[in-house]
Structure 1
Amino acid sequence: MTTATSTTALPRLRLRTPDDILAGTPYLFGFHPSDSLVALGMRGCQLRFHMRDDLPDPAEDLDVLADSYAAMFQRQHVDQVVLIGYGPPGRVEPLLHATTAGMRRRGIVVREMLWAHDGRYRSLVCDSAACCPAEGMPYDVTVSAVAATATLIGMVALPDRAALVDSLAAPTGAALEVAERAARHAQTRLAGSAASPAAGVAALDGALRRTRDGDRLSDEEVAWAAFLVHNLRLRDAAWMRIDRDGEPGLELHERLWSDVLRRCVPAFAAPAAMLVAYAAWRSGNGVRARIALDRALDADPGYRAAKLMGEILDRGLSPQALPPIVRPDPSAAPARRRVARRRRR
């Protein structure tokens, strides 16, 4: 599964050597890659865009795949890339060479090409057996200064992608029973007195304030928030609020809707999951956005907002390529240009 992400919103890590690159990459994606191709795109000396994809099936056409990667990076106007292949050399090296050729055909310079597997790495652009023997050099990301810096500034690298998926997983067992009970209460409340849009917005703002203050929403509050954003006006109000609060508020919105997503009944999760995906994408975390999007489509395969989010991720669009829905609040973040057209559902 391809995941491409703008890097501009992420804290900057200085990745100078192959060891630095291998130590920093897990923090860019939020987990330690395995059986993966990773490409780090640069404009000048700044990391601007990065992508991870599963290693392809042996029958897949590597040249076609490589050209699709190169086209994605060309759209991001990067001029250099670093490629890393995680996995057995027989599967990784042909893909690295094909991707390098694809990048070069589009005028993108490949600065480094690394193979990494089982704690060893080798540069495929180095011909010296002294520094890059065929069996690779040992490396340990846990003792790197880059890893220490990433941890210090609050970045996290989970053991694998499955652990990241688990962090947004639906409730099960006793937690699911609690969520179902709260959902029944919310349904009764909704049937008894339909909430006005103003009351709904006030309830969502209250949940946001509670989350900002570090309070944990009650099960009933989680279920009510999940139900409210099934109303398109309230969903769009929450969606636009993410952009209006700007970059400083992205973590707060993602935290609120992630809590709702993890604790609500799975069948009702699509709007909350889409809001997590949007906030994560805006903050530069394409991996988390993709996982949240999968939750949305699992709940409702026809959900139009999730399909739109999927198109954004599939095209590898960066947040800078798509202006906000509304102008951010000047008190929260620098003003950005207004979108010329309204977003379709």
Structure 2
Amino acid sequence: MTTTAALPWLRLSGPAEILSATPYLLGFHPANSLVVLGLRGTGLRFHVRGDLPDDRDDGEVLAEQYACMFAHHNVDAALLIGYGPAEPTGPFLFATRAAMLRHDIDVPEMLRAHEGRYWSLLCGSAECCPPEGRAYDVQTSTAAVEATVAGMVALPDRDAVVCSLAGPEGSGLAAIQEATDRAGLRLVRLATGRDVVPAVMSAGTAALAEAVARYRADQRLTDDEVAWLTVLLQVLAFRDRAWLRIDRDGRRGRAVHLRLWTDLVRRADPGMVAPAAMLLGYLHWRAGDGLRARVAVDRALDADPDYNGAKLMAEILDRAVPPAELPPLGQSRRRAVRRRKC
């Protein structure tokens, strides 16, 4: 399941425009999927994508889960889009609509799209909605133009998004593993005869500041620098400081942090990537990109299934918690301090 926040360029001006905008909202062209767009008033509140169920019984359960999720977020209405052939897409759409209505969520439109054509399943007019469907072209739509201007892309499918955050292979993998071994020895020398955590915090703060400056200048870290930062992030106190730095830099620094942490996730030793991947997942979630948040969190859990930070992010994504409902890390700490003082 993929969840994200609404994007400001979206214009819900009709079925073809909705269908053309959806791949840019998701970051890829969906197939065999249900997409639900939740509306509050006339604006898009948030949206969800999930795979089509294997059978009708699973579909009934999943439909109820979607309805409960959207009811929790107090949406007024939901637009349903099913991507796939008439079976099983149509029955699942109707099951989801029925569940939404049971939760007092209006469904003003319900579309099925397949092989470049769409059908409005709530339209009974053959003149308006012919049995053979209507053609639409994502590439030439107004929504596609607006998305491109906004810097959005729609990759061919979800696998392409996964590949875009994949770890190193071949000679790149061998090089970063050797660099990680050197970083491990460097950490041993740093900590010898000293309290480990203060030593790591000092070294890590300097390394992170250099990394942020480097990516702000559109430069990259060397393999040894990537490995050093990756090794230091294994210490939770420093991982939390990096997390706090992400929130402290806020929206203005988000693009820089996305470049930095994406590069680390792509280049780090796969066995050591969990902290960096979790932080990248957090960044994408804050930016409203639920798909890449999920892919990054999955990378973290693949590296370390027991990594608590990644499990926390997975739960946030599973529950479709929008970023607005959770304050940034630094902000929540400041509020806690103020409460204690009172």
TM-score grouping bracket, smaller chain normalisation: over 0.9
The match for 1:6 is 5
Letter in 2 for 1:129: A
Uncovered stretches (5+) of structure 2, i.e. residues with no partner: 192-198, 338-342
Contact 1:121/1:137, CA 8 A, preserved across alignment:
yes
Q: Are 1:48 and 2:45 counterparts?
A: yes
Deviations 1:6-34 (A, max 9, x none): 22xx3331121111101100111110111
Runs of 4+ off more than 3 Å: 336-341
CA distance in 2, matches of 1:77, 1:338: 28
Report the 3-state secondary structure (helix = DSSP H, G, I; strand = E; otherwise coil) of the residue aligned with 2:294: helix
The match for 1:261 is 265
The match for 2:317 is 313
Q: Which one of the candidate residues 12, 24, 27 is aligned to 2:24?
A: 27
Q: Are 1:167 and 2:168 counterparts?
A: no
Q: Which one of the candidate residues 108, 128, 151 is aligned to 2:148?
A: 151
Contact 2:177/2:269, CA 8 A, preserved across alignment:
yes
Q: Are 1:125 and 2:122 counterparts?
A: yes
Deviation at 1:55, TM superposition (A): 0.6
CA distance in 2, matches of 1:140, 1:12: 18
Matches within 5 A, 1:180-259: 180-194=177-191, 195-259=199-263
Deviations 1:204-225 (A, max 9, x none): 1110111111001111111111
The match for 1:136 is 133
Deviation at 1:43, TM superposition (A): 0.6
CA distance in 1, matches of 2:227, 2:189: 16
Contact 1:62/1:98, CA 8 A, preserved across alignment:
yes
Contact 1:93/1:115, CA 8 A, preserved across alignment:
yes
CA distance in 2, matches of 1:141, 1:339: 45
CA distance in 2, matches of 1:110, 1:203: 51
Contact 2:9/2:150, CA 8 A, preserved across alignment:
no
CA distance in 2, matches of 1:338, 1:149: 38
Letter in 1 for 2:282: Y
Contact 1:325/1:339, CA 8 A, preserved across alignment:
no
Deviation at 1:338, TM superposition (A): 4.7
* Distance verdict in 2 for CA 1:300–1:56, change over 3 Å: same
CA distance in 1, matches of 2:225, 2:128: 58
Q: Which one of the candidate residues 293, 303, 309 is aligned to 2:307?
A: 303
CA distance in 1, matches of 2:134, 2:102: 30
Deviation at 1:173, TM superposition (A): 1.0
CA distance in 1, matches of 2:53, 2:94: 14
Deviation at 1:250, TM superposition (A): 2.2
Deviation at 1:123, TM superposition (A): 0.5
RMSD: 1.5
Report the 3-state secondary structure (helix = DSSP H, G, I; strand = E; otherwise coil) of the residue aligned with 2:329: coil
Deviations 1:88-133 (A, max 9, x none): 1111111110111111111111121000011110111111112212
Uncovered stretches (5+) of structure 1, i.e. residues with no partner: 328-335
Bigger mean CA offset, 182-191 vs 267-276: 182-191
* Distance verdict in 2 for CA 1:237–1:96, change over 3 Å: same
Letter in 2 for 1:67: E
- Give the TM-score taking structure 1 as reference length: 0.92
Q: Are 1:97 and 2:94 counterparts?
A: yes
Q: Which structure is higher in helix share?
A: 2
Q: What fraction of aligned residue pairs are identical, expressed as a percent?
A: 55
The match for 1:333 is none
Report the 3-state secondary structure (helix = DSSP H, G, I; strand = E; otherwise coil) of the residue aligned with 1:154: coil
Contact 1:250/1:282, CA 8 A, preserved across alignment:
no
Deviation at 1:318, TM superposition (A): 0.5
Report the 3-state secondary structure (helix = DSSP H, G, I; strand = E; otherwise coil) of the residue aligned with 1:174: helix
Report the 3-state secondary structure (helix = DSSP H, G, I; strand = E; otherwise coil) of the residue aligned with 1:258: helix
The match for 2:340 is none
Contact 1:170/1:261, CA 8 A, preserved across alignment:
yes
CA distance in 2, matches of 1:323, 1:339: 10
Q: Which one of the candidate residues 50, 61, 64 is aligned to 1:64?
A: 61
Report the 3-state secondary structure (helix = DSSP H, G, I; strand = E; otherwise coil) of the residue aligned with 1:42: strand
Q: Are 1:176 and 2:173 counterparts?
A: yes
The match for 1:276 is 280
Deviation at 1:339, TM superposition (A): 5.0
Deviation at 1:322, TM superposition (A): 1.2
* Distance verdict in 2 for CA 1:292–1:340, change over 3 Å: same
Contact 1:168/1:292, CA 8 A, preserved across alignment:
yes
The number of residue pairs the alignment matches comes to 330
The match for 2:13 is 16
CA distance in 1, matches of 2:9, 2:100: 24
Deviation at 1:276, TM superposition (A): 0.4
